[in-house]
Amino acid sequence: MVHYELTVPEDLGGPLTVEIKLQYRKFDTTYMQYVSGKKDFVNDLPITTIASDRITFPIEGLAAEPRNDESKIIPWQRWNDYGSGCFWKATSGASRKAN
């Protein structure tokens, strides 16, 4: 599970479209520099896009563009997956307990 935060400009003149992608690389460059002991280590491990999405937020007081981006995932499944992600995500020092 990944959370994103963004600041919306106050002078926005129309709907706000946000495009995101979650990418993964087995080891990040900082880690590889530490392990190899080389500050100039070039990390050429492949980057994989795990997920991507795009959403347009209407802005109050401005005309909204018609939307045709209904998810192909049924709502109960989206919420179930989100709940599972919340359950399995742990922060440092946190522990999970199943009831």
- Domain residue limits, the chain: 16-88
| Distance of alpha carbon 23 from alpha carbon 48, whole angstroms | 6
pLDDT in tens, 48-81: 999 888 888 888 776 666 555 666 777 778 777 7
Please compute the mean of the pLDDT values over residues 1-19 and round it to a whole number: 83
How many Å from the N-terminal Cα to the C-terminal Cα in the chain? 21
Residue 91 pLDDT > 70, yes or no?
no
Against a cut of 0.75, is the pTM above it?
no
pLDDT in tens, 11-39: 888 888 889 898 998 888 888 899 999 99
Question: In the prediction, which pLDDT does 46 show?
Answer: 93
